[in-house]
């Protein structure tokens, strides 16, 4: 799979230096939809910091979008501040990203001085230094030196290069600054990986015979893991230096620090154009509990704050989902297994509880009993269920228990002593791998540093894509979001498109949350194509038929290879800053969706059916359903909705993105009227429905959707 989303635009520069901020934790906005409650329509990969202008942001608003995802482009306070101001000036919102949510910094500094050296084309200076002693996947992101800029004339270029050693066998990278410099502590920006606990060599050179400096040094050997060099010869002192290292914030079991999160909230939280915070792009399952902790910290500092992350698509590899990194234990008469957990807000029942157990170890005469208790102290037994066998590795225990929302409970699994007195593996996380923030696993009444795999009130297969989506949905995010780009450069269409939609819709409904989708609006050479108007329309309306409550274009501007490492082409805005034809495609479709938005936002998805050849993972239209196609062989999506007053709505989408079709419908119960919400006026309008025959028809452009309404009380 191509990794081409925010966190995967990996070749971008890593910002190295943290900035100190005062906290502004009063008068913060509350959680809300994009742009004051309108239907959320966003863009990803906006104009960069240098292009944060009135004209560019007016262009975004002119496309009928209402929010911007800053991830991968706008990631510093210096970039986000103007972006928020410009968004506010144009009626837009910003889903803010900040490098501190994605990277953690470590500094290596030698600050003793009192002496100095001069650098010129005939006199290079250097310093050996050691990378962080622990951790994985570190980068050098910058080096600061102390240089007297009064002796650094205009036009003279100094270059800081990083080598594997003073022998300079391998150049890792270099950065140059041309005078005059604006600070006595110039920072040379880099983004180069280094090996942990390894010695490297930095060298400062000049393109001029003019002596520049001085370059501050200590008077003696102040830094124990290296020394300064002059013209390749070691000295008994050290340069003044500050080397910035960075690693991904979630590496080695970490997450962004509370102090960084608090600073981010303080920096952006009070701005009226803030939609929320972009936490991560395409996380693996092992990060989800840590991401939930970040979400909770933001909520603690800014009650009602909106947080967002985007899940991997179904066509990612199982290794990318990382739901199969598991351990296990055995249920035995003398080994009782348990798990403390917390119910979700609004949850008042546990009908079933599913575990992941190797059913081939479950022999004749062996029974497993699952008991639900009020706590690990087991003062009150709430419900229990016993199974004597299972035909799958995912047995479901029926409990039918009344519970209280946001309350801690405890389940316990016991073995009856029959058979060989051992059933397992009962799947759990690896030691120290936290799956559940509000609970932990127990063995024989003692807590352990792990969590058992379990699912409440539904049945899924462990280690699957649905397992991955469930793990985030069950943590009650503000919205469930995913990307799936189906139109390939060879003209093919990804066959798992609807299977992905089915899973995301299902898990969003179980969790009681909305879902948003990313829309393919860019090409990648030899991978995916720039979509046509029909293909773009098809994506949007099929997502709406499945109940999506927002969507985001990927991408708006066209990323260059320096920012992405991918050969992108044909975004909504072309590399030269001009509008692609797809900009107008998006503008037209967005205007339609905006006119439907007030209705769509209040609808709850009930069912989704298909006619024609059934796509993978989809369900065919039942013959008993109240809305039928006269020709069931025609390809259509039928989305069934209700509003808060239980009025029924149907969205029909022409599932043919190559051809226009006239679709005819039959309603055997013959309601008194069928109206349509106009994509032109936003008003409820009459159709050609005949109440005497219960029939209507309409012409559909390729990929087009239409929203119909049934009479109140029908």
Dist. CA 294–CA 394, nearest whole Å: 31
DSSP string across 559-572: --HHHHSS-EE--S
Q: What is the pLDDT of residues 484-542, one digit of tens each?
A: 999 999 999 999 999 999 999 999 999 999 999 999 999 999 999 999 999 999 999 99
Pairing mode, strands 307-311 and 480-483: parallel
Instruction: Specify the CATH architecture of the domain 604-709.
Output: Sandwich (2.60)
Q: What is the pLDDT of residues 80-96, one digit of tens each?
A: 999 999 999 999 999 99
Dist. CA 591–CA 684, nearest whole Å: 16
Q: E strands along 508-629, which residues?
A: 515-520, 523-524, 551-554, 568-569, 604-611, 628-629
Dist. CA 532–CA 658, nearest whole Å: 10
Dist. CA 238–CA 165, nearest whole Å: 16
Contact 665, 640 (CB under 8 A): no
If you count DSSP H runs as helices and E runs as strands, how many of each does the chain have, helices first? 10, 42
Instruction: Output the pLDDT for position 37.
Output: 54
CA distances, 566 to each of 297, 310, 528, 569 (Å): 34, 20, 11, 9
Q: What is the mean pLDDT of residues 628-641?
A: 98
pLDDT at 19 over 50: no
Dist. CA 256–CA 248, nearest whole Å: 9
Q: What is the pLDDT of residues 439-458, one digit of tens each?
A: 999 999 999 999 999 999 99
Q: What is the mean pLDDT of residues 399-414?
A: 98
Q: Residue 643 CB: number of other CB atoms within 10 A?
A: 14
- Hey, what are 380's tokens? 């009150």
- Whether 325-461 and 104-248 are alike in CATH topology: the answer is yes
Q: What is the pLDDT of residues 110-160, one digit of tens each?
A: 999 999 999 999 999 999 999 999 999 999 999 999 999 999 999 999 999
Dist. CA 520–CA 522, nearest whole Å: 6
Q: What is the pLDDT of residues 586-601, one digit of tens each?
A: 999 999 999 999 999 9
More confident position, 434 or 10: 434
- In a 10 Å sphere around its CB, with 0-12 CB exposed, 13-18 middle and 19+ buried, how is residue 148 labelled? middle
Dist. CA 710–CA 407, nearest whole Å: 40
Find all residues with CB under 8 Å of 708, minimum gap 6, and list them. Answer: 649, 650, 651, 652, 674, 675, 676, 677, 687
Q: How many CA atoms lie within 13 A of 219 on its CB side?
A: 1
Contact 41, 556 (CB under 8 A): no
- In a 10 Å sphere around its CB, with 0-12 CB exposed, 13-18 middle and 19+ buried, how is residue 648 labelled? buried
Which CATH code is given to the segment(s) 104-248? Answer: 2.60.120
Predicted TM-score (pTM) of this structure = 0.91
- In a 10 Å sphere around its CB, with 0-12 CB exposed, 13-18 middle and 19+ buried, how is residue 526 labelled? exposed
Q: What is the pLDDT of residues 196-223, one digit of tens each?
A: 999 999 999 999 999 999 999 999 999 9
pLDDT at 694 over 90: yes
Instruction: Output the pLDDT for position 452.
Output: 98
Give the residue carrying structure tokens 């009479």. 711
Instruction: Specify the CATH architecture of the domain 1-11+39-102+252-321+463-601.
Output: Alpha-Beta Barrel (3.20)
Instruction: Output the pLDDT for position 565.
Output: 75
- Hey, what are 679's tokens? 């994509």
Find all residues with CB under 8 Å of 50, minimum gap 6, and list them. Answer: none
- Hey, what are 233's tokens? 């010869």
Q: What is the mean pLDDT of residues 62-81?
A: 96
Q: What is the pLDDT of residues 158-173, one digit of tens each?
A: 999 999 999 999 999 9
Name the DSSP class of 122.
T
Dist. CA 269–CA 267, nearest whole Å: 6
At residue 28 the predicted structure's pLDDT band, cuts being 50, 70 and 90, is very low
Contact 188, 143 (CB under 8 A): yes
Q: E strands along 164-293, which residues?
A: 171-178, 187-194, 199-206, 212-217, 228-230, 233-234, 241-248, 274-281
Dist. CA 583–CA 568, nearest whole Å: 16
Find all residues with CB under 8 Å of 83, minimum gap 6, and list them. Answer: 46, 49, 52, 68, 70, 74, 94
CA angle 508, 513, 518 (to 5 degrees): 65
Instruction: Output the pLDDT for position 56.
Output: 98
Q: What is the mean pLDDT of residues 594-613?
A: 97
**For residue 587, what is the enclosing H or E element?**
helix 581-600
Long-range contacts from 168-175, C-beta under 8 angstroms, 24+ separation: 168/201, 168/203, 172/140, 172/200, 173/140, 175/142, 175/143
Instruction: Output the pLDDT for position 38.
Output: 86
- Hey, what are 89's tokens? 């000036």
Q: Residue 178 CB: number of other CB atoms within 10 A?
A: 13
Which CATH code is given to the segment(s) 325-461? Answer: 2.60.120
Indicate the domain borders of the chain.
Answer: 1-11+39-102+252-321+463-601, 104-248, 325-461, 604-709
- Sign of the Cα torsion 394, 400, 405, 409 reads negative
At residue 26 the predicted structure's pLDDT band, cuts being 50, 70 and 90, is very low
Dist. CA 120–CA 433, nearest whole Å: 53
Rg (CA), the chain: 30
CA distances, 283 to each of 208, 256, 294, 296 (Å): 48, 14, 13, 17
Name the DSSP class of 378.
-
- Hey, what are 359's tokens? 């059913």
At residue 296 the predicted structure's pLDDT band, cuts being 50, 70 and 90, is very high
Dist. CA 322–CA 477, nearest whole Å: 19
């Amino acid at each position: 799979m191509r990794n081409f989303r925010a966190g995967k635009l990996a070749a971008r520069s890593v910002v190295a230096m943290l900035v100190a901020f005062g906290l502004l934790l009063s008068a913060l906005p509350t959680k809300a939809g994009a742009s004051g409650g309108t239907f959320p329509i966003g863009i990803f990969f906006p104009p960069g910091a240098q292009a944060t202008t009135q004209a560019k942001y007016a262009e975004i608003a002119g496309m009928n979008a209402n929010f911007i995802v800053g991830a991968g482009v706008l990631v510093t306070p210096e970039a986000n501040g103007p972006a928020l101001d410009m968004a506010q000036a144009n009626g837009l919102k910003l889903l803010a990203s900040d490098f501190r949510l994605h990277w953690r910094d470590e500094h290596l500094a030698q600050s003793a001085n009192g002496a100095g050296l001069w650098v010129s084309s005939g006199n290079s200076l250097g310093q050996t230094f050691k990378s962080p002693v622990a951790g994985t996947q570190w980068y050098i992101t910058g080096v600061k030196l102390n240089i007297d800029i009064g002796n650094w004339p205009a036009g003279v270029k100094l270059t800081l290069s990083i080598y594997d050693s003073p022998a300079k066998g391998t150049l890792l990278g270099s950065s140059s600054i041309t005078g005059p410099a604006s600070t006595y502590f110039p920072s040379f920006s880099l983004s180069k990986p280094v090996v942990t606990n390894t010695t490297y060599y930095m060298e400062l050179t000049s393109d001029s015979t003019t002596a520049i400096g001085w370059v501050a040094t200590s008077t003696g050997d102040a830094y124990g893991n290296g020394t300064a060099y002059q013209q390749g010869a070691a000295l008994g002192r050290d340069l003044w230096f500050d080397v910035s290292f960075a690693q991904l914030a979630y590496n080695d079991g970490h997450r962004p620090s509370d102090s960084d999160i608090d600073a981010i909230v303080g920096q952006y939280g009070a701005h009226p154009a803030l939609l929320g915070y972009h936490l991560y792009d395409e996380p693996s399952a092992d990060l989800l509990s840590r991401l939930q902790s970040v979400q909770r910290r933001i909520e603690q500092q800014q009650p009602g704050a909106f947080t967002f992350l985007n899940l991997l698509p179904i066509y990612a590899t199982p290794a990318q989902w990382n739901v199969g990194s598991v351990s296990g234990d055995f249920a035995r008469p003398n080994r009782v297994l348990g798990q403390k957990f917390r119910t979700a807000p609004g949850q008042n029942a546990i009908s079933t509880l599913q575990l992941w157990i190797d059913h081939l170890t479950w022999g004749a005469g062996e029974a497993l009993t699952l008991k639900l208790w009020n706590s690990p102290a087991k003062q009150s037994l709430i419900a229990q269920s016993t199974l004597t066998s299972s035909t799958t590795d995912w047995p479901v225990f029926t409990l039918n228990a009344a519970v209280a929302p946001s309350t801690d409970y405890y389940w316990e699994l016991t073995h009856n002593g029959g058979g060989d007195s051992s059933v397992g593996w009962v799947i759990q996380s690896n030691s120290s791998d936290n799956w559940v923030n509000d609970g932990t696993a127990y063995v024989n009444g003692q807590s352990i540093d792990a969590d058992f795999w379990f699912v409440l009130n539904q049945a899924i297969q462990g280690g699957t894509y649905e397992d991955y989506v469930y793990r985030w949905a069950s943590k009650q995010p503000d919205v469930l979001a995913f990307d799936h780009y189906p139109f390939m450069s060879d003209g093919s269409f990804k066959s798992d498109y609807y299977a992905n939609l089915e899973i995301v819709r299902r898990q969003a409904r179980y969790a009681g949350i909305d879902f948003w989708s990313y829309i393919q609006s860019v090409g990648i050479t030899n991978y995916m194509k720039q979509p046509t108007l029909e293909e773009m329309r098809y994506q949007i309306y099929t997502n709406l038929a499945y109940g999506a409550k927002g969507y985001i274009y990927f991408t708006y501007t066209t990323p260059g290879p320096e920012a992405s490492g991918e050969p992108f082409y044909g975004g909504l805005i072309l590399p030269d800053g001009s509008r692609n034809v797809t900009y107008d495609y998006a503008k037209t479709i967005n205007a339609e969706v905006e006119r439907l938005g007030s209705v769509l936002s209040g609808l709850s998805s009930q069912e989704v059916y298909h006619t024609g050849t059934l796509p993978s993972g989809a369900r065919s239209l039942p013959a008993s359903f109240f809305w039928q196609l006269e020709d069931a062989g025609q390809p259509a999506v039928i989305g069934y909705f209700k509003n808060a007053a239980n009025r029924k709505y149907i969205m029909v989408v022409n599932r043919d993105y190559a051809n226009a079709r006239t679709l005819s419908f039959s309603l055997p119960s013959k309601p008194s009227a069928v109206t349509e919400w106009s994509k032109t006026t936003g008003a409820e309008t009459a159709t050609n429905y005949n109440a005497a025959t219960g029939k209507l028809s309409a012409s559909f452009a390729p990929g087009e959707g239409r929203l119909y309404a049934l009479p109140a009380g029908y």
